[in-house]
Amino acid sequence: MVGEVGFRKWGWVAFFLAPSLIGLLVFVLGPILSSLGLTLFDWNLLSDPKFIKFDNFKELYHDKDFWIAFKHTLMFITYYIPSVLVTALITALLLNQRLRGVSVFRTAFFVPVVASWVVVAVIWKWIFNPRFGLLNFLLAKLGIEGPAWLFDPDTALYAIIITSVWKDTGFVAVMLLAGLQNIPETYYEAAKIDGARPWQRLRFITLPLLTPSIFFALIISLINSFQVFEQAWLMPERFARSGTTVVVEQIVNNAFRYSRMGYAATMSWVLFVVIFAITFVQIRLQKRWVNYDL
């Protein structure tokens, strides 16, 4: 660099870096490390923390509530991920056409994305209301008797999944749309000359060339959905909660309701390790289906 030596240079580095670095150490890195340390302690914030080695992990292994929450989280993921990817793909393909006014539609798909989960939750609670809600009213018109949705532990999770797909479709679609717009027009022109029909172009050009974007969207959605919380916390009625508890809800309950800081920290680390492992496996598996060149 021009015009700087020794002491003065470090002064400038410190000036620019200090606010961020000190903050990161105190509010991010410190908490990460102490959270790891906390997993070995029993602490209710009132008495002194007690060192209990790996007892938190042992307890977690036998904790039925945690594993039920884990199962609900996996169920959420199983239905949510394919649904949101398919709806987002359809949306992105529609938005990728050269149509007049297409940006207005794109804006419409983004309104649920930018709305707070609390707002979305109260709107959909009202729509899912079995007696007075819009949804069961429309279903009744089609001659279907709608379920009790958020009032029933067996259907509440599905209502939460539907709402989540609705909220996130626009978000995932924009990621895919960026990929679609990177596919060179020349491929389509060549295919047209060869007489490829529209669905053939979709099957043999668009989808293979879109796999990097689909992979990116899949990874991001997976990471986010393991951390599903707000909708599961806010939407179900009290007596339907047994069918919707998710992992983060268990962390929150143990930390803030039962004041079991060490145990809650243990859960958060288990969640982190699971997310990390799944992401790692996905990155490994991508060679089998993701095309980075064609």
Partner 1 sequence: MSSITVEQPIVKEPAKWTLPRGWQRQLGHGLSYLMLTLLALIMIVPFVWMFATSLKTREFILETPPRLIPDPASFDSYRQLFDLIPIKHMLFNSILVAVVGTGGQVLVSAMAAYAFARMQWKGRNALFTLYLATMMVPSQVTLIPLFILIRELGWPNSYQALIVPGLFSAFGTFLLRQHFLTLPRELEEAAFLDGANHFTIFWRVLLPLSKPALATLAVFSFMGLWNAYLWPLFVARREDVMTLPVGLAVLQGGPRALTQWNLVMAGAVITVLPILAVFLLAQRWFVQGVVTSGIKG
State yes or no: residue 15 binds partner 1 (CB under 8 A).
yes
Give residue 222's identity as a one-letter amino acid code. L
Q: Which is nearer to partner 1, 155 or 268 (CB)?
A: 268
Give the residue among 226, 205, 239 at the shortest CA–CA distance from 271. 226
DSSP assignments along 148-181, one per residue: -GGGSTTTHHHHHHHHHHHHHHHHHHHHHHHHHH
State yes or no: residue 27 binds partner 1 (CB under 8 A).
yes
Which structure tokens are listed for 148?
Answer: 């009790």
Enumerate residues 145-164 that contact partner 1 by CB under 8 A: none
- Indicate which single residue of 40, 69, 157, 174 sits in contact with partner 1 (rule: CB under 8 A): 174
Decide if 240 contacts 152 (C-beta within 8 A). Answer: yes
Burial of 146 (0-12, 13-18, 19+ CB in 10 A): middle
Helices (H) and strands (E) in the chain, counts: 14, 2
- Indicate which single residue of 256, 258, 289, 292 sits in contact with partner 1 (rule: CB under 8 A): 256
**Residue 96 in 3-state DSSP?**
coil
Give the residue among 115, 291, 119 at the shortest CA–CA distance from 208. 291
Inter-CA distances, 38 with 28, 124, 263, 268, Å? 15, 38, 8, 11
State yes or no: residue 280 binds partner 1 (CB under 8 A).
no
Q: Which is nearer to partner 1, 110 or 188 (CB)?
A: 110
Enumerate residues 87-106 that contact partner 1 by CB under 8 A: 90-91, 94-95, 97, 99, 102, 105-106
Stretch that binds partner 1, among 29-37, 67-75, 143-151, 185-193 (CB under 8 A): 29-37
Give the residue among 235, 230, 72, 245 at the shortest CA–CA distance from 151. 235
- Indicate which single residue of 60, 81, 248, 290 sits in contact with partner 1 (rule: CB under 8 A): 248
Enumerate residues 48-87 that contact partner 1 by CB under 8 A: none
State yes or no: residue 239 binds partner 1 (CB under 8 A).
no
Please report how close the Cβ of residue 203 comes to partner 1 at its closest, in angstroms: 17
Decide if 248 contacts 227 (C-beta within 8 A). Answer: yes
Inter-CA distances, 254 with 18, 198, 248, Å? 35, 54, 10
State yes or no: residue 199 binds partner 1 (CB under 8 A).
no
State yes or no: residue 178 binds partner 1 (CB under 8 A).
yes
Stretch that binds partner 1, among 10-18, 61-69, 150-158, 200-208 (CB under 8 A): 10-18
Enumerate residues 207-236 that contact partner 1 by CB under 8 A: 216-217, 219-220, 223-224, 226-227, 229-230, 234
Inter-CA distances, 150 with 236, 252, 260, 264, Å? 5, 21, 29, 27
Please report how close the Cβ of residue 204 comes to partner 1 at its closest, in angstroms: 19
State yes or no: residue 47 binds partner 1 (CB under 8 A).
no
Q: Which x/- pattern, by CB under 8 A, does the window 106-145 give for partner 1?
A: xxxxxxxxxxxxxx-xxxxxxx----xxx--x--------
